[in-house]
Chain A
């Protein structure tokens, strides 16, 4: 693997799960949990004649961001499209559990200054959701991760990082939505039903998955940033994501709740207002919404660099 300095310069899109896990935390601070050497691969894939991976496509571990212990979960899209099975799911669940146990310990040992050492969880998504080969075990894994995220609420921040090739779709789209903060790059894509599946189910007239420009302006980071579905948009490098995560660590914990998109009656009402506006505004394209929120030349926004984009873009104003 590249050394830490070189990892920082890497495009986030190109970085594999392990490179992201090592590169998103401070230099030399990452320790992997259940590493390839533990050979915890899927028990279900061999009987189906499907290739296995020692880490089951999920890298988990602990690192530091300044004084904060950071529990990292990083998904590998190249292995069965990053789909989550039983082992990978269990690794995700246990990592969040460990973060919560660490929270209890830190609070007990240093009650006066525990906020400086408050653990955080970072999930680097690259997945299409459930690994269908493992059916119920894959589905259950999703539910259990959601459970853990709910348990962590009000205790430690859970941050989603989305900027890898496969994007974040399917059941894991729900999981990402349930986190506290979402950081994306313009190459990151977030949604529930992926473009190919929409095309397959509803036809090419509904959604042309081969039209990359359409796919990115509908599911990509820029659109999610305008719609407030993601909180931060960064450039496509490991360093840029890391810098943003460090800044998030400076947000006082009580304020983290404000970044959430779902999880309270108020937030449900905000989402329902959005559903209503889909009828009243009647957008035919994602960019109609960009225009609606005050961006007069949406196509120009799609073409410019993230830096220029952030300087000029107008976002939906949140009511909360």
Chain B
């Protein structure tokens, strides 16, 4: 009954890391999830940890995450996801939103400077 932890590792063809040191997006509501992206030296790989109460969806998570990594050529990123029954489409949308958040300037004030 305890929470399950899934771990994945991916490698894109031409990996590049995110702009911010770290970025966070999402709220762990019912059917939703949050993701924390951290810049980390991983030899171009992306490591992902998913914490979820749902069993039996390891393969689906792998497919969703692999696609996001491939489509965005992600590398040297450590990703941690807290899930509460997010569907695959919600998961990939939140990941894309988090990547958009990670590509913003570090602080809002710098944006206007």
Binding site for B on A (CB under 8 A): 1, 3-4, 16-17, 27-28, 35-37, 39, 41, 45-54, 76, 78-79
Listed residue (A16, A27, A50, A52) with the most chain B CB atoms within 10 angstroms of its CB? A52
Q: Chain B residues with Cβ under 8 A from A51's Cβ?
A: 3, 28, 51-53, 82-85
Residue of B29, B32, B108 near A27 (CB, 8 A) is: B108
Whether the Cβ atoms of A28 and B29 lie closer than 8 Å is: no
B63 within 8 A of A: no
Range for the number of chain B residues in contact with chain A: 20 to 34
Q: Chain B residues with Cβ under 8 A from A3's Cβ?
A: 108, 111
Whether the Cβ atoms of B108 and A39 lie closer than 8 Å is: no
Whether the Cβ atoms of A54 and B24 lie closer than 8 Å is: yes
Flag B19-55 by CB within 8 Å of A: 1 or 0 each.
0001011011110101010100000000000011100
> Nearest chain B CB to A55's CB is how many angstroms away?
9
Q: Chain B residues with Cβ under 8 A from A79's Cβ?
A: 27-29
Whether the Cβ atoms of A37 and B22 lie closer than 8 Å is: yes
A49-B53 contact in complex given A37-B22, A54-B36, A79-B29, C-beta closer than 8 Å:
yes
Which B-chain residue is minimally distant from A51 (CB atoms)? B84
> Nearest chain B CB to A126's CB is how many angstroms away?
11
Whether the Cβ atoms of B24 and A53 lie closer than 8 Å is: no
B13 within 8 A of A: no
Q: 23 pairs across A/B with beta carbons < 8 Å?
A: A1-B25, A17-B27, A27-B108, A35-B24, A36-B34, A37-B24, A37-B36, A37-B38, A39-B80, A46-B2, A49-B1, A49-B3, A50-B53, A51-B3, A51-B53, A51-B85, A52-B3, A52-B28, A78-B29, A78-B30, A78-B32, A79-B27, A79-B28
Closest 3 CB pairs of A and B: A78-B29, A51-B84, A49-B1
Which A-chain residue is minimally distant from B24 (CB atoms)? A36
Which B-chain residue is minimally distant from A46 (CB atoms)? B3
Flag B71-113 by CB within 8 Å of A: 1 or 0 each.
0000000001011110000000000000001000001110100
Whether the Cβ atoms of B1 and A54 lie closer than 8 Å is: no
Q: Chain B residues with Cβ under 8 A from A45's Cβ?
A: 3
Whether the Cβ atoms of A28 and B107 lie closer than 8 Å is: yes
> Nearest chain A CB to B74's CB is how many angstroms away?
18
Whether the Cβ atoms of A53 and B108 lie closer than 8 Å is: no
- Give the complex CA separation of A231 and B53 in angstroms: 42
Which B-chain residue is minimally distant from A52 (CB atoms)? B82
- Give the complex CA separation of A25 and B3 in angstroms: 36
- Give the complex CA separation of A48 and B109 in angstroms: 42
Listed residue (A45, A46, A76) with the most chain B CB atoms within 10 angstroms of its CB? A46
Q: Chain B residues with Cβ under 8 A from A37's Cβ?
A: 22, 24, 36, 38
Residue of B3, B82, B101, B109 near A53 (CB, 8 A) is: B82
- Give the complex CA separation of A53 and B83 in angstroms: 9
Q: Chain B residues with Cβ under 8 A from A39's Cβ?
A: 36, 80
Which A-chain residue is minimally distant from B22 (CB atoms)? A37
> Nearest chain A CB to B77's CB is how many angstroms away?
14
Whether the Cβ atoms of B51 and A52 lie closer than 8 Å is: yes
Q: Chain B residues with Cβ under 8 A from A36's Cβ?
A: 24, 34, 36
Listed residue (A16, A35, A36, A76) with the most chain B CB atoms within 10 angstroms of its CB? A36
> Nearest chain B CB to A61's CB is how many angstroms away?
14
Q: Chain A residues with Cβ under 8 A from B2's Cβ?
A: 46-49
A28-B109 contact in complex given A53-B34, A78-B29, C-beta closer than 8 Å:
yes
- Give the complex CA separation of A37 and B35 in angstroms: 10
- Give the complex CA separation of A117 and B83 in angstroms: 41
Q: Chain B residues with Cβ under 8 A from A1's Cβ?
A: 25, 101
- Give the complex CA separation of A61 and B41 in angstroms: 29
- Give the complex CA separation of A36 and B38 in angstroms: 11
> Nearest chain A CB to B82's CB is how many angstroms away?
5
Q: Chain B residues with Cβ under 8 A from A53's Cβ?
A: 27-28, 34, 82
A76-B27 contact in complex given A49-B1, A52-B3, C-beta closer than 8 Å:
yes
Which B-chain residue is minimally distant from A29 (CB atoms)? B109
